[in-house]
C-alpha cells in the first residue's frame, strides 16, 4: 500500500507531490538531498498525506494532485 504526500520547502516555498510506502523515510531522503528535484530546496516538511492506496490508485492520485489547480486548492485549504 502507498501514500500520496505533499511537501513544502521551508527554504524556498516550493511544493512537491510524491508517493511512497513509507512517507517518513521518503521525507528523510528528500531532506538529505537524495532526490534530484528537491535537492536544492531543503529542508522540507510534510503538510498533507492521503492513503493508503494500492500502487495503481496511488499513482493516479499522485498525477491528479500534481495538477497545479488541484495542488493550489489543497494548499489554500491548509493555509
Cα–Cα distance between 27 and 33 in angstroms, integer?
10
Q: Does domain 2-78 have CATH number 3.30.930.10?
A: no
Per-residue pLDDT tens digits for 9-36: 999 999 999 999 999 999 999 999 888 8
What are the residue boundaries of the structural domains of the chain, listed by start?
A: 2-78
pTM of the predicted structure, to 2 decimals: 0.90
Per-residue pLDDT tens digits for 31-65: 998 888 888 999 999 999 999 999 999 999 999 99
Radius of gyration of the chain (CA): 12
Peptide linkage before 43 cis (omega within 30 of 0): yes
Q: Is 59 exposed, middle or buried (0-12, 13-18, 19+ CB in 10 A)?
A: middle
Residues sharing a CB contact under 8 Å with residue 54, sequence separation 6 or more, in sequence order: 1, 2
Amino acid at each position: 500500500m502507498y501514500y500520496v504526500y505533499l511537501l513544502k520547502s521551508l527554504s524556498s516555498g516550493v511544493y512537491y507531490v510524491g508517493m511512497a510506502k513509507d512517507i517518513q523515510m521518503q521525507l528523510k531522503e528528500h531532506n538529505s538531498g537524495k532526490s534530484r528535484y528537491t535537492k536544492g530546496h531543503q529542508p522540507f516538511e510534510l503538510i498533507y498525506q492521503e492513503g493508503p492506496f494500492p500502487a495503481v490508485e496511488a499513482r493516479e492520485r499522485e498525477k491528479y494532485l500534481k495538477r497545479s489547480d488541484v495542488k493550489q486548492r489543497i494548499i489554500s485549504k491548509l493555509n
